[in-house]
Structure formats: C-alpha cells, structure tokens
C-alpha cells in the first residue's frame, strides 16, 4: 500500500501540473495510500500488481457496482490505477481481467487522468474507448442572465418534462445510454423534491415567458461519481442541465449553465465540476464551450464484442 501510494501521488502531482484546481492533498503519498486502500477494501475488489527488480511499478484495482445500468461490471475508480508506462497497464489488465471475466463481469470501466497519454494509450490498446468526460473550471463572479431565475413549485411540470427530455436524448444516437428509465410520475416527484431540498439549487431559463431549460447545482460531495483524486476540494457541481428540443440553439443551455457557475462563485466554492458523455455531441460542445477543462476520462470495454 505504501508503494502504491507513492505511485498514485506521483501520478497526481503530474496531473496537477496540468490542472491545478485538483486537490493538492493527494500529492502526499500517505493520503494517496489511503485512497488506494479504500479502493482495495471495496466489496469484491480484486486486481493486480507489477514489480520490477523488487519495486512496485504499477497496480490495478477494480470492483463491481450494483447498478443494473452498468451491466455485469467492474470499475477502476480514480485511485484504482497507476503505472510506469502503458505496457505495464496492459500486463496488469491481462492478469486482473482474467478473474473479472471468469466471474462473468464483462463490462469494464476505468477512470483515468485525461492528460496521462501513457495510461490512456495502454487502455486504448486493450480495446477500451472513451465514454465519459469529467471537467472542471473556475466559478463565475457576478450575476446570471436576466432570463434565468430560481425554480418555483409551479415549474414542476416542465421540470419533469426536461428530466424526460434528457433521458430520451441520452437513449438516442449516437449516445445510446443504458440509463434506467423512469416515469413522468417519478419525474414529477423528483422535481418537487429538488425544489424543496436544501442540498440542491434549481434554475430555469425562460424564452418568451415560457420555461425552456433548467439546471441543478449542489456541492460536489453530493455526487458519488466524483471521489478520491477526481474530487477537487471546495467544489460545486453542475449536476444536471437540459433544454427543450424546440429551444436548442437559443442560448438557454448556456444561460442555465452560467447560473450554476455564478451561484458557485457566490457560495464561495473554489471550482465547479461537471461531467458528460463523450458521445453526447451537444453536451460535449456546450460544456467545453462554457469553459470546462477535461480532468478524467471514463474508458469502457465490453468484452466479447
């Protein structure tokens, strides 16, 4: 664990040279070792270690998630891999995946630093592809667009529509997400809960007096998808945004995105994080256009296809 912590700390230090908004504490080998230990003690975790001349030069740790939307899966989280080079990654995976596939877990996911060409190349040459992007940027200072306001309870029906619009959009080409479907009734309950919640802030954008877009902000600590080295300290989270199809191209999406960025600045957060499917063409353009810089890539392989 101590040696793995040193490898992860070195990986993270190099990552922070590319993106200083990431948490500095993971440059400490002791803090990094705690994250490796947390990955290793996750239920059903397994993996592989590589040594050269008695020294650890790489490790890979994965564990399954219970959600049915990910298939029979194994996840390598943000602290789950560090290696000297891409060839070491390939050797590590060859050992670890033998067990994973033997257990029937054929959907493999790995969260890796977006700047680390060696790691990415190693996974790409193992038939992984880019599925999802995590990004970060500084919050905004100053007010939001005048067409944007806080959501009210009378907005709940259109908020439910926007939930369903995003679900439908993600299920279509070229995204083809396997997200768990939900009903309009469930979307209505979720919208009510979000407005009443003390954890979330909900914004809507209007065009010609009609709500056409919404966004949701919260502390990044609320998100289970952003943990370990992938979680900057004191960060807000742009957790949701959607625009009705007829209003796309009107600037409403940027307006509700800016609203969360401005809220995060007013709330004193040091950064704002979001994430998007790389196959979602509109999201990829919108969030990079809003200034989000990639920090981690989620890579994916489905064995046997």
pLDDT digits (tens, 9 = 90+) for 61-105: 999 999 888 989 999 999 999 999 999 999 999 999 999 999 999
- φ/ψ of 196, rounded to 5, equals -80, -15
Question: Which residues partner with 61 through β-bridges?
Answer: 47
What is the per-residue pLDDT across 226-276, written as a single tens digit (0 to 9) for each?
Answer: 999 999 999 999 999 999 999 988 899 999 999 999 999 999 999 999 999
Whether residue 175 is found in the same domain as residue 115: no
Split at pLDDT 50, 70, 90, the class of 144 is low
Whether residue 106 is found in the same domain as residue 176: no
pTM: 0.94
> CA–CA separation, 184 vs 204, rounded Å?
19
Domain with residue 163: its CATH number is 3.40.630.30
The average confidence (pLDDT) of the chain is 95
Which has the closest alpha carbon to 88: 115, 124, 118, 128?
A: 118
Decide if 186 is inside a domain.
Answer: yes
Picking from 92, 126, 160, the residue at the C-terminal end of a domain is: 126
Burial track 54-77 (b if 16+ CB lie within 10 A, e otherwise)? eebbbbbbbbbbeeeeeeebbbbb
Whether residue 164 is found in the same domain as residue 80: no
Q: Token match 């401005």: residue?
A: 262
CA atoms within 13 A on the CB side of 210: 9
Picking from 126, 161, 193, the residue at the C-terminal end of a domain is: 126
Split at pLDDT 50, 70, 90, the class of 143 is low
Whether residue 161 is found in the same domain as residue 99: no
Which has the closest alpha carbon to 140: 265, 7, 11, 294?
A: 265
Decide if 42 is inside a domain.
Answer: yes
Whether residue 69 is found in the same domain as residue 176: no
Domain that holds residue 116: 2-126
Whether residue 156 is found in the same domain as residue 59: no
> CA–CA separation, 140 vs 10, rounded Å?
31
Decide if 138 is inside a domain.
Answer: no
Whether residue 168 is found in the same domain as residue 229: yes
Alpha helix ranges (H) inside 19-141 = 29-40, 86-102, 117-124
Element (H, E) at 156: helix 156-171
DSSP strands (E only) in the chain? 46-52, 55-62, 73-76, 81-83, 107-113, 129-137, 148-150, 201-207, 210-219, 235-243, 271-277, 293-302
* pLDDT at residue 202 greater than cutoff 80: yes
Task: Tell me the C-alpha to C-alpha distance, in Å, between residue 51 and each of 61, 96, 196.
Answer: 15, 15, 53
Decide if 135 is inside a domain.
Answer: no
CA atoms within 13 A on the CB side of 109: 20
SS3 68: helix
* pLDDT at residue 183 greater than cutoff 80: yes
**Total tally of structural domains belonging to the chain:** 2
pLDDT for 146 equals 75
């Amino acid at each position: 664990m101590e040696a793995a912590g040193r490898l992860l700390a070195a990986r993270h230090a190099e990552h922070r040279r590319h993106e200083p908004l990431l948490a500095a504490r993971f440059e400490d080998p002791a803090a990094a070792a705690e994250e490796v230990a947390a990955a290793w003690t996750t239920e059903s975790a397994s993996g592989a270690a590589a040594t050269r001349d008695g020294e650890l030069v790489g490790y890979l740790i994965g564990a399954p998630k219970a959600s049915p939307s990910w298939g029979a899966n194994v996840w390598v989280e943000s602290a789950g891999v560090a290696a000297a080079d891409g060839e070491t990654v390939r050797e590590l995976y060859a050992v670890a995946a033998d067990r994973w596939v033997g257990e029937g877990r054929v959907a493999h996911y790995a969260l890796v630093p977006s700047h680390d060409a060696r790691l990415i190349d190693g996974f790409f040459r193992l038939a992984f592809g880019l599925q999802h992007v995590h990004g970060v940027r500084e919050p905004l200072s100053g007010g939001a667009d005048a067409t944007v306001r806080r959501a009210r309870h009378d907005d709940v029906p259109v908020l439910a529509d926007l939930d369903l619009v995003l679900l439908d959009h993600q299920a279509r080409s070229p995204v083809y997400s396997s997200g768990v479907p939900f009903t309009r009734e469930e979307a209505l309950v979720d919208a009510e809960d979000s407005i009443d919640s003390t954890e979330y802030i909900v914004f809507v954008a209007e065009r010609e007096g009609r709500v056409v877009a919404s966004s949701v902000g919260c502390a990044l600590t609320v998100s289970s998808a952003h943990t370990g080295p992938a979680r900057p300290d004191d960060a807000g989270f742009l957790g949701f945004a959607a625009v009705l199809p007829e209003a796309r191209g009107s600037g409403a999406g940027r307006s509700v995105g800016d609203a969360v960025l401005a809220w995060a600045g007013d709330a004193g957060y040091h950064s704002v994080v979001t994430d998007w499917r790389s196959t979602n063409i509109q999201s990829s353009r919108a969030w990079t256009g809003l200034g989000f810089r990639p920090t981690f890539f989620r890579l994916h392989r489905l064995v046997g296809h």
